Amino acid sequence: MSVQDHPVELTAPDIAAYKAGNTGIDYVTTLDSGKPGPHVMINAVTHGNEICGAIALDHLFRHGIEPTRGKLSLAFVNHMAFSRFDPNYPRYSRLVDEDINRVWVEERLDGDEDNNELRRARELRPIYDTVDHLLDIHSMGTLSPALMLCNGLDKEVAIARQIGYPAHIVCGSGHVRGKRLIEYTPFNDTSNPKTALLVECGQHWAKPTATIALDTALYFLRAVDFIDPDFFAAHVTDTDPAPQRVLEVTAGVVTETDSFRFVEDYKGLEQFPKAGTVIATDGDAPVKTPHDECILVMPNPHARKGMRVLRFARDVTPL
């Protein structure tokens, strides 16, 4: 364990019971209320080492979650990577061949290339094509407060505000290679009402992260009018969420060397009043905040050369 690694306080649940599901796709279960309504979906373990989502879905299943209308699908996305999770080496099960949250580009999904994640993405794609509202549960490398990520489309911000949890909504990607699931064309299209949001619940293996994952799932289901109020009340932990702030990503930084160092042990959401504040060095080059009141989002203390190491944002919360 490197000095920067966080202890593993969470236990990855045994998800073998969910393999068969009822959709013909491994680890995907669709619960049908029998009543009209949209198709809503919650994803866990898009990244195999981000175990909070698996804990949240396991909790919902074990307590008999039932949608009050429409259909609810629950999926363990990268179960292949998750099955390799080892608490002694918790960082090494993010993916098998490549990041499944970068492959959502039509040319790649339709192409001939083959690997574990592309196969899984092709298997799941028909489901996403019928989903109206998706919540994709993730976690982060640092002890950052939780973040709801979206592209910044009006429809996304509207549903993120309706969910009302967690307290920070972050709009914009800040230069990612490939496309994340929330950027997959149908979700990222302003001409249809489909939405996909990605929640970063906290540090991957910190105890509160699993509680936040479950709370986000519950608030999401409440926002789409899918959950019995008694079920919500019986399982929610944070009954009085803080008011939300909306942050807009203004830039992303990709490392140019293998020796990127933050000047302090930033967790995320630190705010720097003055433009030009040095927050890191990349080799010998200083990395400075690009504007006043600049907010650091998702600093990655483990970034190697060519990886996105941080995003900058500004507060655009409507008054």
Q: If DSSP codes are grouped into helix, strand and coil, which group holds residue 40? A: strand
Q: If DSSP codes are grouped into helix, strand and coil, which group holds residue 59? A: helix
Q: Which stretch binds Zn ion (CB under 5 A): 4-12, 14-22, 40-48, 296-304?
A: 40-48
Answer for the pair 91, 140: CB distance below 8 angstroms, yes or no: no
Number of residues that bind Zn ion (CB under 5 A): 3
Taking the least distance from each CB to Zn ion, the nearer of 199 and 246 is 199
Taking the least distance from each CB to Zn ion, the nearer of 100 and 269 is 100
Burial of 35 (0-12, 13-18, 19+ CB in 10 A): exposed
Q: How far is the CB of 11 from Zn ion (least distance, A)?
A: 19
What is the x/- site pattern for Zn ion, positions 119-148, by CB under 5 A?
A: -------------------x----------
Q: How far is the CB of 232 from Zn ion (least distance, A)?
A: 26
Q: Which stretch binds Zn ion (CB under 5 A): 31-39, 44-52, 67-75, 221-229?
A: 44-52
Q: Whose structure tokens read 């001939």?
A: 112
Q: What is the C-alpha separation between 314 and 295, in angstroms, rounded?
A: 6
Answer for the pair 170, 177: CB distance below 8 angstroms, yes or no: no
Q: Which stretch binds Zn ion (CB under 5 A): 30-38, 48-56, 68-76, 310-318?
A: 48-56
Taking the least distance from each CB to Zn ion, the nearer of 47 and 194 is 47
Residues 153-182, interacting with Zn ion (CB under 5 A): none
The residue number with the shortest CB distance to Zn ion is 138
Q: What is the C-alpha separation between 298 and 268, in angstroms, rounded?
A: 5
- Give 269-304 as a 3 state SS string: CCEECCCCCEEEEECCEEEECCCCCEEEECCCCCCC
Structure tokens at 138: 């993730």
Taking the least distance from each CB to Zn ion, the nearer of 50 and 282 is 50
Q: How far is the CB of 184 from Zn ion (least distance, A)?
A: 15
Q: How far is the CB of 61 from Zn ion (least distance, A)?
A: 21
Question: Does residue 94 belong to the site contacting Zn ion (CB under 5 A)?
Answer: no
Taking the least distance from each CB to Zn ion, the nearer of 138 and 222 is 138
CA torsion 149→151→156→158, rounded to 10°?
90
Question: Does residue 204 belong to the site contacting Zn ion (CB under 5 A)?
Answer: no
Q: How far is the CB of 128 from Zn ion (least distance, A)?
A: 17
CA 99 to chain centre: 13
Listed in sequence order, the residues at least 6 apart from 77 whose beta carbon sits closer than 8 Å to its beta carbon are: 27, 43, 44, 45, 46, 100, 120, 124, 136
Question: Does residue 47 belong to the site contacting Zn ion (CB under 5 A)?
Answer: yes
Q: Which stretch binds Zn ion (CB under 5 A): 13-21, 45-53, 225-233, 284-292?
A: 45-53
Q: How far is the CB of 69 from Zn ion (least distance, A)?
A: 30
Q: How far is the CB of 319 from Zn ion (least distance, A)?
A: 32
Listed in sequence order, the residues at least 6 apart from 73 whose beta carbon sits closer than 8 Å to its beta carbon are: 23, 28, 29, 30, 31, 39, 40, 41, 42, 127, 131
Which residues of the shown chain bind Zn ion in the complex (CB under 5 A)?
Answer: 47, 50, 138
